[in-house]
Each structure stands twice: as C-alpha cells, then as structure tokens.
Structure 1
Amino acid sequence: MNYASPTYVEETRIGFRFLATHTWQHHVLRVAIEDLKRLIGEPLPQGGTLLDAGCGQGKSFRLLREAFRPQRLVGLDADPHSLALARAEAGREGIAAELVAGDCARIELPDAGVDIVFCHQTFHHLVEQERALAEFWRVLRPGGWLLFAESTRAYIDTWVIRWFFRHPMHVQKSADEYLAMLRAQGFAFGDANVSLPYLWWSRASDFGLLERWGIRKPPPPGRREETLVNVAARKPEAA
C-alpha cells in the first residue's frame, strides 16, 4: 500500500480492527476528549477549523463535532485505507469532513489557519516527532489549542502492546519527556491543563485486574510510571 508518509509504520491487522471497535470509540476516544474538555475549562472553543491529526478511521469525528462544533473539520492520515473508512464514517454521521492523505511532519495547510489541533494516540506512531510538533505550531493560529493525548513508553513497551501492535520503538517517550517537548516548541500550559490518567486498559500486564480484585494496591501518583498523558496546550497570542 502507498502510504502518504515515508516513515509510516504499518499497523497490525488486529490493531487496525481494534480501531474500528466500540471499545476504542467509547472507552478510549470518548474518555480522552472528555478529559481534554476538562483541561481546557470553560468556555470551550467553538467553531473555526479543527485538524484531527492522525484521524484514523474517523471514529473521533462525531465526538469532536459535539464538543467543539467546528465550522471546518479536517482529518489527516497517512494510511489511505483508514481514510476510506473515515470517509464512510463521516457520511454515516452526516459530517462534511475534509480528508487529506498526508504526513503530520509535512502538513499541507497554510500558516495560522487552524483553531484546534486534536492529536490523540497519534504521536507515538510518528518517527519525525519534532517536525510534526513544529507543523502543529505552524498551522495553529496564535491563541489556538493543541489537544494532545498520548500513551507513553511505559505502556507502548509492555509485552501486550508489543505482541498485538506495531510502533517505532526508538521514538517512544515518558510523560515528562512529552511535556518537555511541548514546552520546548513554545506551547503554554500549566498544571491545571495536564492530566496523567491511570485507566484500566493502560495498566501494564494485567490491565489492572489485580487492583480491581483488591489483591494489589494501585501505586500512588508520583510513584508510578505514567502510561498516559493528556495536555490542553495553547499557542500564545503573541506567537
């Protein structure tokens, strides 16, 4: 298959099928968007242009429309098969999404024309992470939001994920390293704009079963290796 990124790492069959499931849409995407809304605070940004960077099969489109009511929704992905499914998803939901085959490290959109970049579980798939983040910065208008939700190296490097999914392992980062990368690019956010979810599906080896059964106590924040990081960051108005 001809991917729109020369560094694209092809997903496994089981991974591709998982991204079409109710579990993915309801327990992963929906939960992340709800958390990002909380991190933004009130009022939520409404209207304008929203770029879904790494939109996959379009399961985010309805959730993003309900949350942010964008006037223009652009879905970018390097995989043409995913985009075909995203187009069908947009049609089912009655959403006029613009779908673009492209690379997050080389986004074919003008400078400062996007109000929100939504990057959910995409960044750990990217080899050229610094270039992609610079592109997010470029296309965002001053005052625009980057909604960043990622799995960390501590999760991606577990045997379960290595067994069922495929990722470029040499670029994986910790939560602190992702936060430092966002700040180095110039994005502004405080403690109130960051969360470190400890969701059942992200817990190493047993998906939190021993904790739910009371056999093992969950590690307290600050003493656990974080598996997820969500950030609502802004490009400063003066940028």
Structure 2
Amino acid sequence: MTYASPTYVEETRIGFRFLATHTWQHHVLRVAINDLKRLIGDPLPQGGVLLDVGCGQGRSFRLLREAFAPRRLIGLDADPHSVELSRIEAQREGIDVELHVADCARIELPDASVDIVFCHQTFHHLVEQEQALAEFWRVLKPGGRLLFAESTKAYIDTWVIRWFFRHPMHVQKSADGYLAMLRTQGFVFDDAHVSLPYLWWSRSKDFGLLERWGLRAPPPPGQREETLVNVAARKPMERA
C-alpha cells in the first residue's frame, strides 16, 4: 500500500484491528476527549472548523461532534485504508466529514483556516514531529486551539506495546519533552491546561492490577514515569 507520508511506519494487523474496537473508542478516545474538555473549561468552543489529524478509522467523529458541534469537520490520515474506513464510519453515524489522505507534516489547507486541531495518539507515530507541529500552527487561526493527547516513551517502549504494535522508536518523547516541543513552537498553556493521566491501560508492568486489588498504592506524580500527557493549548492572538 502507498502511504501519504514517506516515513510512515505501518501498523501491525492486531494494532489496526484494535483501533476499530469499542475498547479503543470507549476507554481511550472518550476518556481523552472528556479530559481535554475539562482542561478547556466552560464554555467549550462550538462551531467553526475542526481538524482531526491522524483520524484513523473515524471512531472520534461522533465524540467530537457531540463535544464541539463543528460547522466543518475534517479528517486527515496518511493511510488510505484508514481513511476509507473513516468514510464508512462517518456514513454509519450520519456525520458530514471532509476526508484527506495526507501527511501531517504537509497539510493541504490554507493558513489560519482551522479553529481546533485535535491530535489524539498520533504524534508517537510521526517521524517528522517538528514539521507536523509547525503545520498545526500554520493552519490554526490566531486564538485557535490545539487539543493534544499523547502516549509517552515510558509507555510506547514497554514490552507489551512493542510486542503488539509498531512505532518509530527513535522519536518517542517524555511528557516534559512533548510539553517543551509545544512551547518551542509557540503554543501557550499553563498547568491548569495540562493533565498527566495514569490510566490502568498505560501502566508498563501490570496494567495497575496490584493497585486495583489494593495490594499497592499508586505512585504519586513526581515519583513515576508519566505515561500519558493531555494538553489544551492555544495559538496566541496576533498583536495589533
């Protein structure tokens, strides 16, 4: 298959199938979107243009429509097969979405044309991360939002993820590394707009089973390797 990105790392069969499951939509996507809504605070932005970068098989579309009611919803993915499955998912849900087979590092949209960029569990698949982030910045309007939810190197580099999934390991970053990258690009956010979820499915050794059984207390922030980072960032308004 020909992908839109020359550096695309093809997913495993089991990984591709997992992204179509209820588990992915309910326990990963839904949880992340709810957390990002909390980080934005009230009122949530409504209407406008929402770009879902790395939209995969379209399982986010209904959740994004319910949360932000975009006037125009755009999905982008480098994998043509994923985009075709996104089209089927949108039709099944009755959602009007504009779909593109495209590289996140080369987005064919005009400057300052998007109100929200939603980037969920996409960056750890990208080799050209700085270029992709620069593209997010370019297409966002001044005052636009980047909703960024990502797994860190501490999770991607675990045995279970290496066994079942495939990623470009040389570009993986810590939570602090992703936050620094966002700030270097110019995105603004403070501590109230960042969360570091420590969800059971992101635990590196036992998926949190010992804690769920009451046999061990969860490590507090600052005494653990963070596995997830969610950020509700903003592109600053242009100065007069």
* TM-score range for the pair, normalised by the shorter chain length: over 0.9
Find the counterpart in structure 2 of residue 47 from structure 1: 47
Q: Deviations over 1:27-57 (max 9, x none)?
A: 0000000000000011111101000000000
**Following superposition of structure 1 onto structure 2, how do residues 79-98 of structure 1 map, counting pairs within 5 Å?**
79-98=79-98
- Give yes or no for the alignment of 1:77 onto 2:77: yes
Identity of aligned residues (%): 85
Deviation at 1:218, TM superposition (A): 1.1
1:199 corresponding residue in structure 2: 199
**Could you tell me the TM-score, scaled by structure 1's length?**
0.99
Root mean square deviation of aligned Cα:
0.6
How big is each residue's C-alpha offset from its partner over 1:131-159, in whole Å with a ceiling of 9 and x where there is no partner? 00000000000000000000000000000
CA–CA separation in structure 2 for the residues paired with 1:12 and 1:217: 34
Q: Which runs of 5+ in 2 are unaligned?
A: none
> Structure 2 length normalisation: TM-score?
0.99
Alignment of 1:157-168 (within 5 A): 157-168=157-168
Task: Give 1:106's aligned residue.
Answer: 106
Alignment-derived partner of residue 5 in structure 1: 5
Match of 2:140 in 1: 140
Q: Does 1:25 align with 2:34?
A: no
Aligned to 1:150: 150
User: After TM superposition, which residue ranges in structure 1, 4 or more long, deviate above 3 angstroms?
Assistant: none
1:120 aligns with 120
Moved more, 192-201 or 208-217: 208-217
Count of residue pairs the alignment pairs up: 239
Counterpart-to-counterpart distance in 2, 1:211 and 1:168:
31
Q: Which amino acid aligns with 1:170?
A: H
Question: Secondary structure at the residue paired with 1:230?
Answer: strand
Residue 65 of structure 1 is matched in structure 2 by: 65
Unpaired runs of 5+ residues, structure 1, are none
How big is the shift at 1:7? 0.5
State the alpha-carbon separation in 2 of the partners of residues 198 and 81 from structure 1.
32
1:238 CA displacement: 1.7
The DSSP-based 3-state class of the residue aligned with 2:6 is: coil
Give the Å deviation of 1:160.
0.3
CA–CA distance in structure 1, aligned partners of residues 63 and 213 of structure 2: 32
Following superposition, the deviation at residue 206 of structure 1 comes to 1.1
In structure 1, distance between residues paired with 2:157 and 2:205? 11
